[in-house]
Structure 1
Amino acid sequence: METDCTRAELPADGDVITPLATGTRLLHIGPHKTGTTSIQGALFEARAEMARHGVEWPAATRHPMEAVLAACARTGMMGDPAPTERHWERLLEQVRGTGRRTSVISSEFFADAPDDDTVERIVEQLGGERVHVLVTLRPLARIMPSQWQQYVQNGLRMGYEDWLEHLLRKPPYDRPTPSFWRRHRHDRLVERWARVVGAERVTVVVVDDRDRQSLMRTFEALLGLPAHLLRPIPDAANRSLTLAETEMLRNLNKEFRANELPEELYSQLVRNGAVMHMKNTCAPGPGDVKICTPQWAVEVAAGIGAEMAERIGSTGVRIVGDMSLLSAVQLSAVQQPAAGTGAVPRIAPEAAAHALYGALAAAAGAPVRHAAPAKSRTVHQTSSRELVRVLGHRCLKRLRLR
């Protein structure tokens, strides 16, 4: 079942957060599903105001994903163009351009750095002793359903409960998504980066889901910014899929693989076409069934969380927030399936129509292969009337050619 983590007391060390020294390069490494997209949007939106207070956002976008993937020797999302070293070099140039001013870089893909050598190279290139690493954490039971549906958006075909079985009960626990435990064995993640920069230059922030603004306030305090300068930016494209939406996509993934279609088609038509348009135009309603984690998995995740909290506490890193949240899991009354309702995950006709339309519009809007730079407007930002006109013209052109 979905989980809600509660605690009885306030964080013991959360009252006062000492700002980092001027000139620090704050490196936020995620990991995934710990509020990264929200804080990246807020930092990017406030970059001009932050600069007036001596803090720079050196990246040209809200998330320098390609640059960080290249730095970690990771491939891009399924069907996307492969990131190159030039992406990383460009980000480094922008970081160096901040001079002696404080700066902040954020990407959850830094958590995918495969080994100490990669971490050491990243830290050295970003400024060596000027780098301070920030890790944001949430309980595993909160992360698992979100991470599963994200993997499905990148081509995963395995159902949620089967995926949990492999993740939690089948050694070596690395199939079919080996990146999960590299990202979310949080004690090892903290230890890996602390070995390189030293425990005194690592801050771990435990995100409290009861207070959606707490992460913003923590970043402001660490960076020496005025309170409430950072504000959440609405982003429908970042919402999680419902169970029915995820199952629709998972079954599409099976058909896609069975027919051996090119991965470029998946990137263009499925992830950036059908799924993106559906997420931007359809908000989940009260009758939509959520992705529910079985009780056995919740309990296993809580046990792992307790073990991770203990190990992180012994590393000597600075901790902001309540570490007991990583293991204190309690079901929320509003998240428990209602007894006797027999809720069945059914995708709304409107959502299915928007998904189909998004795929058609993507097919009309660009060639399959990404030979040209991305356009300034994505498909889901273009009006339906204009997309229909473009699609019609392309269909007529192809008919004439035939």
Structure 2
Amino acid sequence: MARRAFLHVGTAKSGTSYLQDLWWRHRDELGDRGLLLPGRRRRDHFTAAALVKGMTAVVDDLGDRDRDVWDRLVQETRAWPGDVLVSNEHFADSPADAAAAALADLASAAAEVHVLVTARDLGRVLPSAWQQRVKMGARMPYRKFLGSVRREDGDQKFWRYQDVPGILDVWSAGVPGERVHVVVVPAPGAPRDELWLRTASVLGLDVTGLDTAALRPNDSLGVVEAELLRRINDAVPRDRRSLAYSRHVKGTFVPTALVGSAPRDSFALPDNHVAWIEEAGATAVAALRSSSYDLVGDVDDLLPAVAPDGRTPDQVSEAELLAAAATVLARLDLGRADSLGEALDALAGHLLSVG
């Protein structure tokens, strides 16, 4: 039986990819230091989350071997004498009964079960979440996206992955408060490895000597690049945007052709959205301060910060978009375009031909 089982359930856009990349890169070294990441590969933890929460679109396509991934992770936990870590942000929106069942499974395999949540301020999460949707083919303008989040529209999944107090309510049921850890993503300007060190302290892990340099390229987009991609999506007929298309855009087109095609700008929060975003952040901070959870880092860093020199995508000019598109066309050896419309059509056609 494991000594402790840590389940990292999210939230999305809170440094999860960064942490998971490091955990899996150093998996062997971490095992030597007493921490097991069960499974054969990082995707096993995603599959486990899909199984736990009943993510039908994923589960229905699983092969026979993958359908028992969660059970195998639990079995590996039971056989390990030290600590165990399972991490995927898709656990975050699990129904309460599914979360309770998963925690019970881990309790049967470890002497202690701990829940880990990483959290980031809404001022940075909202632009990042919109950008992620655009990478997956979304056409909704930034301001309209913010409005849909504010209204909690029926098809808007944002809060299912970002309502930190709500997620903690679900995943802390039956778990002592001191075993529910909320790690705050540090404010801009902090050392890059600060989040890594904070989570290591929760895990009781000595990470001395482990390289924390990012090996994967940073595929976050600036304001111009993100708006250009949204315009390209808008030029692609809805019935042509397949899963293969989305995967190609996110996995190949964005990191190899789009990133760096325009000067980098920060995202701003539109003036008419600042008040409710600040209120939502303050409400979450107050809930955390009144809880019995283990809070790691400065909780005030969850209060949204407004970028003083940022812009919104609708403030981007046609000339800036055309210049970025010209750079992308050149990188793809697709010639040149005399207008933005011509460039968008060329790029959309290219993506449809390869995706």
Provide the TM-score with structure 2 as the length reference.
0.80
- Give the 3 Å change call, closer, same or farther, for CA 138–274 of structure 1 in structure 2: closer
- Give the 3 Å change call, closer, same or farther, for CA 140–109 of structure 1 in structure 2: same
Count of residue correspondences: 326
Contact 2:228 2:321 in 1 (8 A): no
Separation in structure 1 between the aligned mates of residue 16 and residue 100 of structure 2, nearest angstrom? 22
Q: Does 1:281 align with 2:256?
A: yes
Partner of 1:174: 153
Partner of 2:103: 123
Equivalent residue letter for 1:32: A
Partner of 1:382: none
Deviations 1:128-181 (A, max 9, x none): 56321000111111100110121223343211101111211x3xx13442x211
- Give the 3 Å change call, closer, same or farther, for CA 311–151 of structure 1 in structure 2: same
In the TM superposition, 1:132-147 aligns within 5 A as 132-147=114-129
Deviation at 1:302, TM superposition (A): 1.6
Equivalent residue letter for 2:253: M
Q: Which runs of 5+ in 1 are unaligned?
A: 1-21, 364-402
Contact 2:223 2:311 in 1 (8 A): no
In the TM superposition, 1:1-400 aligns within 5 A as 23-63=3-43, 64-76=45-57, 82-83=61-62, 87=66, 89-98=68-77, 99=79, 100-113=81-94, 115-128=95-108, 130-168=112-150, 170=151, 173-177=152-156, 179-209=157-187, 210-211=189-190, 212-228=192-208, 229=210, 231-236=212-217, 239-254=219-234, 256-258=236-238, 260-261=239-240, 266-268=242-244, 270-282=245-257, 283-284=259-260, 287-327=263-303, 329-333=305-309, 335=310, 344-346=320-322, 347-352=324-329, 354=332, 359=351, 362=354
Deviation at 1:288, TM superposition (A): 4.5
Contact 2:225 2:261 in 1 (8 A): no
3-state DSSP of counterpart to 1:105: strand
Deviation at 1:60, TM superposition (A): 2.1
Deviations 1:25-55 (A, max 9, x none): 1111111000000000000001111111111
3-state DSSP of counterpart to 2:226: helix
Which structure: greater helix fraction? 2
Deviates more, 1:152-161 or 1:122-131: 122-131
Separation in structure 2 between the aligned mates of residue 319 and residue 85 of structure 1, nearest angstrom? 40
Deviation at 1:290, TM superposition (A): 4.8
Separation in structure 2 between the aligned mates of residue 203 and residue 144 of structure 1, nearest angstrom? 23
3-state DSSP of counterpart to 1:300: helix
Separation in structure 1 between the aligned mates of residue 281 and residue 301 of structure 2, nearest angstrom? 9
Separation in structure 1 between the aligned mates of residue 50 and residue 204 of structure 2, nearest angstrom? 29
3-state DSSP of counterpart to 1:109: helix
Deviation at 1:184, TM superposition (A): 1.0
Separation in structure 2 between the aligned mates of residue 59 and residue 136 of structure 1, nearest angstrom? 22
Separation in structure 2 between the aligned mates of residue 331 and residue 152 of structure 1, nearest angstrom? 21
3-state DSSP of counterpart to 1:97: helix
Deviation at 1:230, TM superposition (A): 5.6
Separation in structure 1 between the aligned mates of residue 311 and residue 137 of structure 2, nearest angstrom? 28
Deviation at 1:332, TM superposition (A): 4.2
Separation in structure 2 between the aligned mates of residue 317 and residue 190 of structure 1, nearest angstrom? 9
Equivalent residue letter for 1:143: V
Provide the TM-score with structure 1 as the length reference.
0.72
Deviation at 1:313, TM superposition (A): 1.9
- Give the 3 Å change call, closer, same or farther, for CA 59–359 of structure 1 in structure 2: farther
Equivalent residue letter for 2:121: P
Q: Which runs of 5+ in 2 are unaligned?
A: 333-346
Separation in structure 1 between the aligned mates of residue 73 and residue 316 of structure 2, nearest angstrom? 55
Percentage of pairs with the same residue? 26
Q: Which has the higher contact order (CA 8 A, sep 6+)?
A: 1
Separation in structure 1 between the aligned mates of residue 138 and residue 7 of structure 2, nearest angstrom? 30
Partner of 2:336: none
Deviation at 1:208, TM superposition (A): 0.3
Separation in structure 2 between the aligned mates of residue 140 and residue 186 of structure 1, nearest angstrom? 11
Deviates more, 1:158-167 or 1:224-233: 224-233
Deviations 1:60-83 (A, max 9, x none): 223432331222112458xx9745
Deviations 1:53-110 (A, max 9, x none): 1111113223432331222112458xx9745785352243144224232111110111
3-state DSSP of counterpart to 2:104: helix
Separation in structure 1 between the aligned mates of residue 102 and residue 29 of structure 2, nearest angstrom? 28
Deviation at 1:183, TM superposition (A): 1.4
Aligned-CA RMSD value: 3.1
Partner of 1:384: none
Deviation at 1:344, TM superposition (A): 4.0
